[in-house]
Amino acid sequence: MNRNPDDGEPLLAVDHLSMRFGGLVAVNDVSFAARDRQITAIIGPNGAGKTTVFNCLTGFYAPSVGRLTVSHSGQRWWLERMEAHRIAGAARVARTFQNVRLFGGMSVLENLIVAQHIKLMRASGFTLAGLLGLPVYRRAERAAVELARYWLDRVGLVDVADWQAGNLPYGAQRRLEIARAMCSEPRLLCLDEPAAGLNPRESADLSQLLTFIRDHHRIGVLLIEHDMSVVMAISDHLVVLDYGRKISEGPPAVVRHDPAVIRAYLGEDEDESESEDRADG
């Protein structure tokens, strides 16, 4: 919490995060902060350690060193100590995956309902009230469907709501994954390369969607992205990683002129937007 001059505590503070895999240091002493109602982008060449940061944040990896603090609603969570499902459920951190992970055999709408599991589970009296068909549960389910409809509308998938998710075209699957994350009503949304594999028009729509989410929902967005047109257009704050280290940080206009960044990243292959699909779970 050292670097940002903005007022108050940041939504997410990453302090001295390191992640080692045997001899490989995938993330090396990285610190940064992400604020509410802002889009914070993490960029860097392939293998820089971006996805690893996400996996540490969301509890899929236990960081070797570091403190990950999420603060909102007057409470504070130390993510490095929490189980993955509690990070999503209690600290309200949602994420998408670099290689889309939908519930392919279920319908689009069901994907969004599953995202509201915790809320609905409670409403169904941990299944008992649901089995009896009590009205409490039916009301909760209707509300859940309404929330799902809202997000389907936002990502333009209302018409295909009853389709099997696995049969959607790729771009639609990516949007559905974002809608699913939003249906879990997160305070911090982590998106891992949401524009990968999208055509320029879809990318532009995505930018619009993300700015809408930032401006109209009380949420902070953490964005990993290779597509510089998206990153430069919508992010408020940029963190640049290279070989696991943070090499630069700041507003996009500043970072893009940072010689270290140009050397390490932008200079190399600026318009490479497709990255290898790497296992990231």
Ligand X SMILES: Nc1ncnc2c1ncn2[C@@H]1O[C@H](COP(=O)(O)OP(=O)(O)OP(=O)(O)O)[C@@H](O)[C@H]1O
Shortest distance in whole angstroms from residue 92 CB to ligand X: 23
Query: Exposure pattern of 74-108 as b/e (b: 16+ CB <10 Å)?
Result: eeebebbebeeeebbeebbbbbbbbebebbeeebb
Binding-residue pattern over the window 98 to 137 for ligand X, x denoting contact by CB under 6 A: x---------------------------------------
Angle between helices 170-183 and 135-155 (to 10 degrees): 140
Among 121, 218, 267, 278, binds another protein (CB under 8 A): 121
Name which of residues 7 to 46 contact ligand X (CB under 6 A). Answer: 21, 24, 26, 44, 46
- Following DSSP, what letter does each residue of 95-149 receive, concatenated? E--SS----TTSBHHHHHHHTTHHHHHHHTTTTHHHHHT-HHHHHHHHHHHHHHH
Interactions with another protein, residue window 64-93 (CB under 8 A): 83-86, 88-89
CA-wise closest residue to 57 among 242, 202, 186: 186
Nearer Cβ to another protein (17/57):
57
Rounded alpha-carbon distances, angstroms, from residue 170 to 99, 102, 167, 212: 11, 11, 9, 22
Residue from 12, 13, 39, 94 touching another protein (CB under 8 A): that is: 94
- For residue 52, the partner it binds in Mg ion, ligand X, another protein, none, with Cβ less than 5 to 8 A by kind, is ligand X
Query: Is 104 an interacting residue with respect to another protein (CB under 8 A)?
Result: yes
Q: Which of 240, 213, 184 is nearest to 41 (CA)?
A: 240
Residues that bind Mg ion (CB under 5 A): 51, 98
Question: Tokens in use for 227?
Answer: 């597509």
**Which chain residues interact with another protein by CB under 8 A?**
58-60, 83-86, 88-89, 94-95, 97, 101-107, 109-110, 113-115, 117-118, 120-121, 124, 126-127, 130-131, 137, 141, 145, 148-149, 152, 158-164, 167-169, 172, 180-181, 184, 281
**Which chain residues interact with ligand X by CB under 6 A?**
21, 24, 26, 44, 46-52, 98, 275-276, 278, 280
